[in-house]
């Protein structure tokens, strides 16, 4: 096997457990087992993963993960290995307690846990330790020891360790630990591309469980933003740089937009905002045919990055004319000033300002979930998602955005509160598979 080939990691959370059902804190307690629903969802997960050529399965030694992995293994002919570093977070004083009991008996600690996870401390056998920081160290150790074989591997673990695995792979700081959602039996896809490069292809897929969009966390209201990348254009297909040239959707892009429209047909949309460029406007208009009461608002600051002299050129042409700049764009995007165009910091500044402006426009707070659809571009969406994950422009390429893909961000406390990444780059509505099969074209 060529070890320089990308390694695809499918990261899943175990099925619903008895402690999940009872709303008890699990941590490293091993008293919790899968419920009937957890077993049924694990079977759906196994069926979904069966078409993939999975070379090996790594699992936590805790029995709720073991049970999930064993069910999946009935659909996949791959060896299974127990790994200590996939154990769940260590929360010894709380394990087995109902969440409401923890809130009542440990109010200060619970607040710190929820709002300042990087500083959160606990005591075990008279020794103070930091559960989240310790978990991040455990996750880093796992990635360091995991063989990168150029194959597809499956990891079956838990809510907290999955968040830490995703965060440490991508460089997300511990302070953003609670910003990442992990549903029972969800699917995440990471691509290890070599030379230390890692790409988040998708986060928290749940369509295989009959949930087209992940549900808000129990009791959450506030805002939900549906962040969409426009459908495919012919220039995407050709790997021709578009930037701020107004290229329309091709036939396939219109079909992608229609599939997104079908996905969201019965989903309430309260506000829709788009880049004023043709390809996102066309995408939004197709979706809004099912929501005629919603008037599309245009936001100029959501326009795609200005590639300057690169616009209209094929990637191969840019390779000939600007080889050093293109190499830097691929490896150090934060350092590149597009000739005659923008740099990534300029895009970052206008995109984040536009995002906050959209949040502030929302009419929310009536004890329901207010839904806003935002349709934009590859670079714009990547910048927004990096910002919400605590990443910098240097991590720009670590986020994938497929044409017609959907990301979901919840603000349960409103525009000024924490952003919860419920899902990133959902494309199952386009192809029926968990792997993004959209065009890998230029921006």
Nearest to 288 by CA among 306, 304, 267, 303: 267
Sign of the CA dihedral with 49 first, then 50, 56, and 57 last: positive
Q: Which residues pair with 408 in a beta bridge?
A: 226, 423
What size, in residues, is the chain? Answer: 443
Pairing relationship of beta strands 54-59 and 152-157 according to DSSP bridges: parallel
- By the 8 A CB rule, do 159 and 98 touch? no
Helix (H) or strand (E) holding 272: strand 271-274
Q: Which residues pair with 57 in a beta bridge?
A: 80, 154
CB count, 10 Å around CB of 281? 19
- By the 8 A CB rule, do 409 and 180 touch? no
Residue 298: phi and psi, rounded to 5, are -105, 135
Give the pair of three-digit tokens for residue 353. Answer: 């300002």
Could you give the strand order of the β-sheet that contains 152-157, starting from the edge strand earlier in sequence? Answer: 80-82, 54-59, 152-157, 7-13, 187-194, 197-205, 420-426, 406-411, 222-229, 369-376, 271-274, 296-298
C-alpha 354/C-alpha 308 separation (Å) is: 22
The count of C-alpha atoms lying within 13 angstroms of the C-alpha of 43, restricted to the half-sphere facing its C-beta, is: 5
Name the residues annotated as catalytic.
230, 304
- By the 8 A CB rule, do 28 and 90 touch? yes
C-alpha 19/C-alpha 391 separation (Å) is: 33
CB count, 10 Å around CB of 198? 21
| Three-state SS at 203 | strand
- By the 8 A CB rule, do 157 and 86 touch? yes
């Amino acid at each position: 096997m060529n070890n320089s080939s990308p390694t695809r990691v499918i990261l899943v959370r175990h099925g619903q457990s008895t402690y999940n059902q009872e709303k008890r804190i699990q941590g490293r307690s091993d008293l919790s087992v899968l419920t009937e629903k957890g077993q049924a969802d694990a079977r759906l997960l196994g069926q979904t993963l069966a078409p993939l050529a999975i070379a090996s399965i790594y699992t936590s030694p805790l029995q709720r993960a073991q049970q999930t992995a064993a069910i999946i293994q009935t659909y996949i002919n791959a060896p299974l290995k127990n790994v200590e570093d996939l154990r769940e977070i260590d929360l010894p004083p709380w394990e087995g307690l109902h969440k409401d009991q923890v809130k009542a008996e440990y109010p200060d600690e619970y607040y710190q846990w929820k709002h300042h996870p990087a500083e959160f401390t606990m005591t075990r056998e008279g020794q103070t330790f930091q559960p989240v920081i310790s978990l991040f160290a455990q996750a880093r150790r796992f990635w360091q020891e995991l063989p990168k074989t150029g194959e597809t591997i499956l990891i079956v673990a838990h809510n907290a360790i999955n968040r830490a695995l995703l965060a440490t792979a991508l460089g997300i700081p511990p302070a953003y630990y609670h910003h990442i959602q992990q549903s029972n039996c969800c699917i995440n896809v990471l691509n290890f591309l070599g030379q230390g490069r890692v790409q988040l292809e998708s986060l928290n897929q749940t369509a295989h469980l009959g949930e087209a969009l992940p549900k808000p966390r129990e009791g959450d209201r506030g805002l939900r933003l549906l962040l969409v990348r426009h459908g495919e254009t012919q220039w995407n297909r050709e790997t021709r740089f578009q930037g701020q040239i107004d290229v329309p959707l091709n036939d396939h892009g219109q079909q992608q937009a229609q599939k997104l429209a079908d996905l969201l047909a019965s989903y309430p949309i309260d506000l829709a905002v788009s880049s004023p460029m043709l390809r996102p406007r066309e995408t939004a208009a197709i979706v809004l045919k099912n929501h005629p009461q919603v008037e599309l608002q245009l936001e100029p600051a959501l326009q795609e990055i200005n590639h300057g002299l690169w616009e209209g050129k094929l990637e191969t042409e840019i390779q000939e004319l600007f080889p050093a700049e293109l190499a830097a764009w691929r490896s150090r995007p934060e350092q590149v000033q597009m000739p005659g165009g923008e740099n990534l910091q300029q895009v970052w500044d206008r995109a984040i300002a536009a995002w906050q402006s959209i949040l502030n426009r929302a009419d929310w707070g009536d004890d329901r979930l207010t839904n806003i659809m935002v349709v934009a571009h590859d670079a714009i969406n990547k910048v927004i998602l990096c910002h919400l994950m605590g990443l910098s422009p240097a991590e720009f390429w670590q986020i994938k955005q497929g044409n017609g893909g959907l990301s979901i961000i919840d603000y349960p406390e409103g525009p000024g509160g924490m952003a919860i990444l419920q899902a990133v780059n959902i494309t199952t509505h386009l192809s029926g598979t968990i792997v993004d099969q959209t065009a890998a074209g230029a921006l």
